[in-house]
Amino acid sequence: MRRRFKLLPDHHSFPFLLKACARLSLFQKGQELHSLTFKLGLQHNVFVQNALVSMYSFCGNGAAFLHTARQVFDEIPLSVRDVVSWNSMISGYLLGHCYWDALKVFAEMLNMSVTDTIRPRPDNVTLLSALTACGRIGFLDLGREIHGLLTRNAFVLDVVLGSSLVDMYAKCGQMEYARKVFDTIPDKNVVCWTCLIAGYAHSHLFKESIELFREMQAHGVTADAATIACVISSCGHSGALDQGRWVHTLCERTGIHFNLSVNNALIDMYSKCGDIQRALQIFHTLNLSERDVFSWTAMITGLAMNGLSDEALNLFSQMETSNVVKPNEVTYLGVLSACSHAGLVDKGFYYFNHMTQSYNLKPRIEHYGCMVDLLGRANLLVEAEKFIRAMPIEPDVVIWRSLLFACTSHGNIELAEFSAKRIEKLEPRRCGARVLLSNVYASASRWSDVNNMRKGMALRRIQKLPGCSFIEIDGVVHEFFVADDSHCQMDSIYEMIIRINRVIQVEGFELDFLDYHSQ
């Protein structure tokens, strides 16, 4: 156009040119076009400036790109700044994971639209971006205000805005509100259902997540890969192997595309449910070039949690040898877990140092926790205490609890008391440390200390959280709490346990798990 016909682009041409640069991440070409807009006197044209803001935001996710985008945005005169200008800047911050900055621009826009009726008001795209930012940082109060703004201004709650509201409430842990909004959305599509299913999974309400998926099937909505990955993950966390197999079979029967995230979720689910051979089978069906770091990590962690520590470490060696993807911090958690379960102290320290020396990965608090667990399991309690004291970061309650649990297993009362005091400072209202310390005293027959512990809990009104267990029968997950007789088949369950106990006693064993029922 320029060379052959000697024509110059105008303010209609530049938005398309800059959008092409953004899609192809051609930052230098975008800068050249930016310079050309000055030469042609288009530096104040709102259409061109909006395109420049988007181009700089989408060409890269570094701070320098966003800084340049913000400079261009600030140069747009307030008198010509339209809703697209604001949306471009807010979206740019979202893309760069600068959620607070996105909300600051949104607040600035709201203030201007209130003080000056000529200023552009937020549209659906603006509110969608603001809700996304609120969900990512857990800013529930502002999310509720935006919800109120939608209601007061009679915005139509379509599937896009409705899904964003559901997602925001779910990420903020407000599943009751998320469900209420979900129920008001007309003509729900797969995105709406997936947002709520993922929300239940994120809030550890795995049973509700699986039930909602069944409800989705009953409504005739076809699931996509994102939905399947969330449901399979819920099955894995709740131990619902039959449900997971049913979902897997459903995918194969209905032809739902098995993308990498679904296969990774299946590897994780089968590993968590104990079917490690099926997990390995799925893992080995993936070509070496297909596997990402999550595939390797899921399989390594699955082998470790199923007691196959040698196989887990061998697989990690294969990952390094393949040189296709590099391990991340989570991969090393699986490796250190394998060392911990096998009691491989020397190897544990080797890999702990290896992650920094070979891959420049900085150990997080979880990695230090794995090392404390490794030393504790090996009855190296003094070494575990020294390791904690030498940590460059402040130990959290999980690390002290690991040490206390090891003291419980190996009967080190002095170190158990020290760990319990540390936990008490960090979690004064929780009972875990007192219960574990009470068990240590009981193992040493120090019954007066046991009674003092229990009296102290009663005086502080600290209650022990009831234990909970799951069992899956014929595709239904049953949940049981300690001292809970609400299950509809509880009489039959106790009757069967009594019969089992009688058989065991005939064989010469004595059990005390019926004490509660007899009382």
143-178: per-residue pLDDT in tens? 999 999 888 877 778 889 999 999 999 999 999 999
Instruction: Record the pTM.
Output: 0.79
If one counts the domains in the chain, the total is 3
Q: Residue 298 falls within a domain, yes or no? A: yes
**Ranges of the chain with pLDDT below 70:** 60-62, 113-118, 257, 428-434, 436, 443-444, 449-450, 453, 455-467, 475, 483, 509-519
Question: 77 and 24 share a domain?
Answer: yes
Q: Which two tokens stand for residue 8?
A: 């110059």
Q: Residue 252 falls within a domain, yes or no? A: no
The domain boundary residue, chosen from 107, 122, 137 = 122
Q: What is the pLDDT of residue 519?
A: 37
Question: Which of 124, 127, 208 has its CA nearest to residue 168?
Answer: 127
Q: Residue 404 falls within a domain, yes or no? A: yes
Q: Residue 323 falls within a domain, yes or no? A: yes
Encode burial over 416-429: b for 16+ CB neighbours within 10 A, e otherwise.
bbebbebbbeeeee
Q: Residue 264 falls within a domain, yes or no? A: no
CA-derived radius of gyration, the chain: 29
Question: Which of 319, 378, 380, 390 has its CA nearest to residue 354?
Answer: 319
261-277: per-residue pLDDT in tens? 999 999 999 999 999 99
Q: Residue 14 falls within a domain, yes or no? A: yes
Gap between the Cα atoms of 258 and 285, Å rounded = 12
Gap between the Cα atoms of 242 and 199, Å rounded = 22
Question: 409 and 329 share a domain?
Answer: no
275 burial (CB, 10 Å; 0-12 / 13-18 / 19+) is middle
Question: 385 and 439 share a domain?
Answer: yes
Q: What is the pLDDT of residue 428?
A: 65
Question: 22 and 65 share a domain?
Answer: yes
The domain boundary residue, chosen from 91, 122, 153 = 122
Question: 351 and 402 share a domain?
Answer: no
Q: Residue 9 gets which letter from DSSP? A: P
Q: Residue 136 falls within a domain, yes or no? A: no
Question: 386 and 349 share a domain?
Answer: no
Own/partner pairs for 143-147, CB < 8 Å, 24+ apart? 143/168, 143/169, 143/172, 147/181
In DSSP terms, which residues pair with 469 in a beta bridge? 480
Question: 428 and 387 share a domain?
Answer: yes
Domain ranges, residue 296: 287-363
Question: 327 and 424 share a domain?
Answer: no
Question: Which of 257, 228, 253, 255 has its CA nearest to residue 243?
Answer: 228
Q: What is the pLDDT of residue 415?
A: 82
| ∠ CA 406-409-413, rounded to 5° | 80
